[in-house]
Structure 1
Amino acid sequence: MRRYAIGDIHGQIDELRRVHAWIAADRARTGEDAPVVHLGDLTDRGPASAEVITYLQRGPTQGGPWITIRGNHDFMFRLFLDDPKLRDPGLNPAYTWLHERLGGLNTLESYGVETSPDRPVADLWSEARDKVPLAHRIFLDNLPLLHRTDRAVFVHAGIRPGVPLIAQAPQDLMWIRQGWLDDRRDHGILVVHGHTALDAPAHYGNRVNLDAGAGYGRPLAAALIDGRDVWLLTEDGRVPLLPGTVPAT
């Protein structure tokens, strides 16, 4: 029931290729055949969201099986493509997906959409509808909100403590922070997530956060999860990630 896991990607295709190369090297060294789980936020902020989606679509032929979880940024992108007036209820009402803090314009630029500051949203949307391939929209539509094994669950943001997995709200799985990040109770299984950017991955005993800030120019993180045991992958091999420690990246 082991899994490789990769934190938030945010359009960083070179970083994604780098950590997949580490996974390939780890497999070659150890004979490991665990699937790879991507924890969401494929898009926004980085320069190559379109290329990231194309890369992940090819998973079964490039090193599968691969599992890709839906992140809140992926959902906001998909909402925009259907209707630019639609809003994810988890988003601060002061912002839209096109705000510079969210990075939606970077995603549109990766598809060749012209994003000058004075361009009407309706024009951005129309060009995006023409340039984002239908296959990418279908791929995003079919991303699961979680993936679980007997001893771990993989989600984008986290879970609502005390709520069974079957009853978790999609909004929480993609957005939760309050009431989750400061919860120290045992959830019965290890929760592996991203969404809240750190300087380096961290293991809290009941959860592991693998968002190491690739959306802000920091290296993408990858790990091997075996029950509650976690090893970060590096160029030189595996490094244990122990509860209560934040190793240097």
Structure 2
Amino acid sequence: MPWFLSRDVANDLEAIPIRVRKPADSTTLPEDFRYINKMIIGKNFIKLEDYIGCNCRPKCVANSCPCIQLNGSLPYKLGRLSGHKDIAFECSKRCSCEPNCVLRSSQNQLKYSLELYHTVDKGWAVRTLSTIPIGESLCEYLGLLRRIEDLDDGATETNFYLYDIDCLQQLKERGTTSNAIPGLESVKMDQCVTHRHPDITKAMQQARVILFAKRKIESLEELTLFYGYPIDSLKDEEGKVIKKDCYCGTPSCRKRLI
């Protein structure tokens, strides 16, 4: 295995292995690196359980499925996102439809070969080994799910990779229900995805964040995500503006993450 540190860093958690390209130097993956395919629930966080589901068999039909009707129209075409939406409602484990139902498009396992590789400016990055069509769901944004009040002091100022999954609050802050989604970049777009529940407000507050291809992604192209921080929006405990450069290299890059 001379060219790779690992043939499958996902350890069989995905249908397709995710290999790790060996760097030119002696760099290795961090010792505490662990691949996950499910959200890790933090202490004191109460996860909303799927409450109700549709009775569609074998697949959901637009004019009769209550899950599709919540979207107004089917958000996916041929399993791919058919347009920008603030939020999409999908079928859940309570639904009777089959696993290949179109309204479970973001729940499928990895469909494209990916590779971890090391860069000079950015550290470890991810690229695709095959062409990915526009609108294709790529992966879910996963990590440790915690309440904001349980974060360590200063965590929101020093951790640039925190992601607020309260889709409803994000829409309220923007004062819009338009098709715009925060965090878009030229390679990927994200979308809040949730399931049908009697309390739709709560469901939107615990939405899943799914990454979709905003455009056709060519083989060997790096996958990138813009977090949407306004420039000079974060400050440290002394009130000084926190600056972090961006090295994505895309034509539209503003050269700063925050």
What is the TM-score of this pair, normalised by structure 2? 0.27
Q: Which has the higher contact order (CA 8 A, sep 6+)?
A: 1
Specify which structure has the higher proportion of helix. Answer: 1
